[in-house]
Amino acid sequence: MNNNNIKLIFGLKLKQLRVNKRFSITKLAEKSGVSISYLNEIENGKKYPKSDKIAAISSALNVTYDNLVSLKLTKKLRPIAELLDSNILEQLPLDHYGIDLNKLVVLLTNASLPLSALVSTLVELAKNSEMSEQNFSRTALRTYKEFNENYFEDIEKSVDKFIAKYKISQNVILKSSRLIKILTEKYNYIIDKDTLNKYPELSGIRSFVIPGNKNRILLNKNLSESQLTFTLGKELGYNYLNLKERNFAYSQMKVDSFDQLLNNFRASYFSSALILNKQKLVKYLKVFFNKKKWDPKSLLELFNKYNSSPEMTFQRIAALAPKYFNLNSMFFLRFNTTQYNREYNLIKEVRLNVNENPGGYATEEHYCRRWVSLSVLDKAKKHGVKNKAKKLFIDAQISEFYVSKNKYFCVSVGSTNAPLNENYSSITLGFLLNDNFKRHVNFWNDPGIKEREVNDTCERCLISNCKERAAMPIKAEEQKNVEKIRETMTEMIEQLNRDS
């Protein structure tokens, strides 16, 4: 348990002992010689008293010193301690929503026993299900993006200032060499392109930062120019935005807190905005959306125009589309897989004003194989077996959800996932096919675009005769049975009422 939580637990325990003794805080101050203001700070988890003050307080309350400092708690306080010990609250962005952790814990402590039982239940769920710390943080980040419509004006302005300060031309492709120069000359970095690849276990890490008087950034030599530029832009983002809490490895490794995850996102947003100029990209998208037919070559031109990866480009479009085209009902997905299995892992997800859950509910379930996200992934894998050269597989699909009948215009790009070429990823951007989308995007009804009925996961899908099914519809059948029981019980009650 960290020091902050120990202070919280001590304060909660002191307050409970004081209340049980029927002492007001004024009376305890008089008997112990500890000021009222200091006792308040202790009880609110702000201060942890020195040993002489603990001795005075324990004497005033007529309890032993060891009893007071022990972390052993009463039945009512135990769920609060479990909640703190689980680190779940630290994974949530409470401070970003103006919620003080200490005050929240105090409120929970004063709650009724049933609410304490609920807290204990939530902790058990978090420990024994997929509601892990990582999923808490990633869900919180997704919600944070949704609240901001996936567009962050403060970062956009910072990028504009950075471009002006370092006189970065927007008329040519931004090169990694330009960013290396800024990192070394302005931020005193050492650039190391040799060390990381000497360790086979680190072959999947794009870069690693070793902080010091001179920060050293270790770069994977297998990075493409676009990946290298993005990585360096991200490092500049950490510095220019003054983001202190961070993970020093650029990979899919876990992060230790929500702040690390949020700062990683903000630094990534900075890098994408630096590479993909807002005004020029919006202008390009207007031309692209105005085409009468779906044209995947235009996307390839866009990637080449900025030397940007599909993921970076799609994330940038996902940020600008709500702001400049009012296309604010959409989702972004990134799936990963490897050469040697049929498992698909959802690594990144953003949902904006949509009810459907295309990413599924849990990683243990099987994502719908009818999604274009997975079909382009399979094409990339098939290509990778025979060819080492990287190739992008671009496809579009109108996906209609089986239950809601809502349709989404989805564009996916599948490719090898450097630096490990035996890994593959697909990036998908899906827009709700509503009247607003049809007004802005002329090729929405191109007859060449295939349309497929899809669902969330196989386990929750009752589409009959699905040739692509990867698992039986266990969850869907369970829900169907529950609904049938409810219908039958309702019919029974109605029949009994009529008979009486």
Domain segments of the chain: what residues? Answer: 3-129, 149-275, 294-454
How would DSSP label each residue in 317-385? HHHHHHHHH---SEEEEEEEEETT----EEEEEEEES----TT-S-TTSPBPTTSHHHHHHHHHHHHHH
Query: pLDDT confidence of 145, banded at 50, 70, 90?
Result: confident
Q: Is-contact 310 303, C-beta < 8 A?
A: yes
Ramachandran angles phi, psi of 181, nearest 5°: -60, -40
How many residues appear in the chain? 500
Within 10 A of 2 (CB to CB), how many other CB atoms are there?
11
Q: Residue 355 and residue 360: Cα distance in Å, rounded?
A: 12
Structure tokens at 76: 């009512």
The kind and range of the H/E element at 40 are: helix 36-43
| DSSP at 457 | B
Q: Is the pLDDT of residue 242 over 90?
A: yes
- Which residue is listed with tokens 């005769």? 465
The dihedrals phi and psi of 62, each to the nearest 5 degrees, come to 60, 45
Task: Please give the span between the terminal C-alpha atoms of the chain, in angstroms, as a whole number.
Answer: 62
Of residues 205 and 291, more confidently modeled: 291
- Three-class SS of residue 55? helix
Name the residue among 223, 134, 116 with its Cα closest to residue 179.
223
128 has a pLDDT exceeding 70: no
The CA-atom distances, in angstroms, between 305 and each of 267, 297, 394, 470 are 22, 12, 17, 39
**185: pLDDT confidence band, cut at 50, 70 and 90?**
very high
Lowest mean per-residue pLDDT among 69-73, 450-454, 489-493: 69-73
**What architecture is domain 3-129?**
Orthogonal Bundle (1.10)
Instruction: Confirm whether 3-129 and 149-275 share one CATH topology.
Output: no
What would the pLDDT profile of 14-28 be if each residue is shown by its tens digit? Answer: 888 888 889 999 999
Judged by average pLDDT, the poorest of 182-196, 371-385, 412-426 is 412-426
Contacts 24+ apart (CB under 8 A), 219-222: 219/191, 219/192, 219/193, 220/196, 220/419, 221/193, 221/194, 221/196, 221/197, 222/197, 222/418, 222/419, 222/421
CATH class assigned to 149-275: mainly alpha
C-alpha–C-alpha distance, residues 417 and 451, integer Å = 28
Q: Is the pLDDT of residue 129 over 60?
A: no
Of the given ranges (56-70, 168-182, 429-443), which has the lowest mean pLDDT? 56-70
Distances, alpha carbon 336 to alpha carbons 70, 260, 342, 430, in Å = 47, 22, 11, 17
Q: Which residue, chain included where needed, has tokens 């500890």?
A: 34
Look at residues 365, 307, 310, 302 and name the one whose alpha carbon lies nearest to residue 334.
310
Pair 407, 394: CB distance under 8 Å: no
Q: How far is CA 330 from CA 79, 100, 410, 429, in A?
A: 39, 32, 9, 7
Whether 130 shows a pLDDT value over 50: the answer reads: no
Output the CA torsion sign for 313, 314, 319, 324. positive
- Please report where in the chains the tokens 């990413």 appear, as a residue: 359
| pLDDT band per the 50, 70, 90 thresholds, residue 460 | confident
Q: What is the Cβ-side half-sphere exposure of residue 458, based on CA atoms within 13 angstroms? A: 17
Any residues with CB less than 8 A from the CB of 478 and at least 6 apart, and which? none
Look at the block and give the residue holding tokens 């100029």: 277
Cis peptide bond upstream of 419, omega within 30: yes
pLDDT of 343 higher than 60: yes
- For residue 250, pLDDT over 70 is answered with no
- Give the pLDDT band of residue 159 (cuts 50, 70, 90): very high
Highest mean pLDDT among 85-99, 178-192, 335-349, 378-392: 178-192
pLDDT of residue 109 exceeding 70: no
The angle subtended at Cα 305 by Cα 300 and Cα 307, nearest 5°, is 85
* Phi and psi angles of residue 149, each rounded to the nearest 5 degrees, phi first: 55, 25
Report the alpha-carbon distance of residue 249 to residue 226 in Å, rounded: 18
- Alpha-carbon distance of 346 to 334, in angstroms, equals 6
What value does the mean pLDDT of the chain take? 85
pLDDT for res 131: 47
Is the pLDDT assigned to residue 221 strictly greater than 70? yes
How far is the CA of 484 from the CAs of 122, 456, 487, in angstroms? 29, 22, 5
Question: What average pLDDT does range 416-435 have in this prediction?
Answer: 84
For residues 273 and 384, the model is more confident at: 273
Decide if pLDDT at 279 tops 60.
Answer: yes
Is the model more confident about 477 or about 87? 477
